[in-house]
Amino acid sequence: DARALEEVPALSALLAARHGYLVFERYYGGQDPEIPINVRSVTKSVTGTLAGAALRAGLLSGLGQAVGETIPERIPDEADPRVADITLWQWLTMTSGLQWDAHGDWQRLLAAPDWVEMTLGLPVVGIPGETYVYNTGGSHVLGVTVAKAAGKPLEDYAADTLFRPLGITPGDWMRSPQGEVSAGSGLELTARDMLKLGHLYLRSGEWDGEQIIDAEYAAAATTWQSPGDSTGAWAGYGYQWWITATGAGYSAYFALGYGGQHIFV
């Protein structure tokens, strides 16, 4: 805490939990603990969690399910034929192989009249399942896929399956031109909400006696699945979580949102 403001002058909140207890909580710059803020790409870790919940519930049959099976009606007519073969695992691990500029395509996505059509309309230029490219459009497609499988809007599925059990009341959620919530960025959460999400994974997907995601899924989501890139300071990537080894002698994983929104576990 003594170093926090000197090293991170824009810091708004800093929380720490250990052994299930909140051991440190401080807010800076007049931040209201009860007011959710835009946590940017931490949203991806929420979406990955919802995919795990849908798998546990049998709404999705497995991570090998492909776009051509889950949302074939959203594939543009002129799409690369290989787009239909992109799997849930590849969306989760950012290895779809789609051509994507991690530093410029966020603005292209926001400007597109249909985010799913724009993403699925890109050519496959990498090796599916191997080539990592940070792709917010892919996370949005993942969320759209989960929503269709659940038979309800993603925000309603999130409320029923994740937020209510964890005692989270989210703020606003960015929406696409189609009115679908953005599954890759733009969810508003409080710092305590973010801590709860990290703690869910620390507890192997269980919360207050209820298994939200399978323990096996929680473990896979937070272990190395693909190489990652400079977006996460060259950390590896799991299922919408970043994976890193630390000099302290133990591994860690983290959610990362633009501007310094972090959940470290």
Which residues make Cβ contacts (< 8 Å) with residue 233, sequence separation at least 6? Answer: none
Is residue 220 scored above 70 in pLDDT? yes
DSSP class of residue 12 equals -
* Environment class of 166 (CB within 10 Å of its CB; exposed 0-12, middle 13-18, buried 19+): middle
* pLDDT for 246: 65
Which residues make Cβ contacts (< 8 Å) with residue 28, sequence separation at least 6? Answer: 4, 5, 11, 12, 13, 14
- DSSP class per residue in 36-58: -EE-TTHHHHHHHHHHHHHHHTT
Say what percent of the chain tops pLDDT 70: 99
Helix (H) / strand (E) containing 210: strand 210-211
Tell me the pLDDT tens digit for each residue of 35-82: 999 999 999 999 999 999 999 999 999 999 999 999 999 999 999 999
Tell me the pLDDT tens digit for each residue of 163-209: 999 999 999 999 999 999 999 999 999 999 999 999 999 999 999 99
In 36-148, beta strands by DSSP E:
37-38
SS3 257: strand
Residue type at 228 in one-letter notation: G
